[in-house]
Amino acid sequence: MQPAAIPPDRNTDIASTVVATMRQLGVLGLPRNYEIFYEALNGSNHELSLAVVGLSNRPTQEDLDGIGRTFFPQHHGPAIVEHAREMVAKELEDIAALLRSERSHIEKYGRLLDETSSGLSNRSLLSQELLHKIASAMSAATSSTIDHGRQIASTLSEKTAELESVKSKLEEYKRLADTDPLTQLWNRRAFDKEIARIYNSNRGILFNALILADIDHFKDINDRYGHPVGDRILQIIAEIFQSSVRSDMFVARTGGEEFAFIVEGASEDATYEIAERIRALIEQTPFTSSQTGMNYGTVTVSLGICMASEAENPEDLYTKADRALYRSKVGGRNRVTRHSATGGRAGKGWLLYKKD
């Protein structure tokens, strides 16, 4: 199947293209199907586009759901977890059955040993021929028990490997469920969990900070050049974010054009320097089309900072960083604003830092 091409650098009505393509292929107009074709046709996810191209001319819903589970696991999470739960339950039942079988086999062997021991207690009544038969029977029973034990051990090893596979799939699902499919950064779900951890310890409160960043005039970019261009700009900015901070720093896309950084082990001044470096890198980056050379103009970001020690909880920290971001917006954009204490928690001040 070959998806309809979307002309680059043109304000294309992608929604119409998606609907037309779905109708042409006989695809049901389900929201999850629309999401697949929207992401595939705007070219923001190359692997997804290839997966859609690989579909037949009449893809089944099962085929589409398979793509959905791979690229949009956040929409298929309950089904994935339920399937894994069923697999684990089955494997555990199989293991329990194996252990019951082994226990029964060992109990039979134990009874044979007891009976043989009782029979050998009066050796004067035993002939050499009978002793030989008993020894042969015990040897066969022992070999059988050993072989059975080996089979059980081998099967248990296979079951353990299968359970490890289930565990690996669940871990991969968790990773995908916490990842933004467009930028490959952490998503809002992962961010909410990470910011909550800050307040689990005094160290987290004392040595963490939150930076929020928002692309300036992003709606104008989408309106002027189209969503495919807007998505590509989001990807480029995400790549700059990842390359300009420490590898262990948490970076997430928390909304349409909003990003968040959780900085650990840095003072307020050091956190400001990080934010300022990010701002300057975005401003200095040329945003042009690799296909046509068209220049989309300067793209800038506004940022807000709040130290964890200035807030009571995760919600308060996010709110104060967001207010600092808002002050950057109303103060002229393309700048960093930090929310700093001026008189305790009851009174907070604002310091605006404009670019040089």
Answer with the residue of higher pLDDT: 74 or 186. 186
Question: Is domain 188-353 classified as CATH 3.30.70.20?
Answer: no
C-alpha distances (whole Å) from 22 to each of 13, 26, 27 are: 15, 6, 5
The predicted pLDDT at position 170 comes to 63
C-alpha count within 13 angstroms, C-beta hemisphere, residue 9: 10
Provide, rounded to the nearest whole percent, the portion of the chain with pLDDT above 90.
Answer: 31
Task: Say which DSSP state 4 is in.
Answer: P
- Mean pLDDT (the chain) is 79
Kindly report the pTM of this predicted structure. Answer: 0.56
Residue 161 φ then ψ, to 5°? -65, -40
pLDDT per position as a tens digit, 98-124: 777 777 777 777 777 776 766 666 665
Taking the C-alpha atoms of 11, 16, 18 and 21 in order, what is their torsion angle to the nearest 10 degrees? Answer: -120
Pairing of β 336-341 and β 301-307:
parallel
- Which region among 21-30, 74-83, 99-108 has the lowest average model confidence (pLDDT)? 74-83
Mean predicted confidence (pLDDT) in 83-89 = 66
CA angle 346, 348, 352 (to 5 degrees): 175
Query: Whose CA is closest to 202, among 321, 309, 339, 345?
Result: 309
The helix, strand and coil proportions of the chain, stated in percent and rounded to the nearest 5, come to 60, 10, 25
Closest CA to 335 of 285, 294, 287, 275: 275
Domains in the chain: boundaries: 14-72, 77-177, 188-353
Please compute the mean of the pLDDT values over residues 153-180 and round it to a whole number. 72
Q: At what angle do helices 31-41 and 14-25 cross, to 10 degrees?
A: 110
- Write down the pLDDT at residue 71: 80
- Give the residue numbers annotated as catalytic, written as ranges: 257
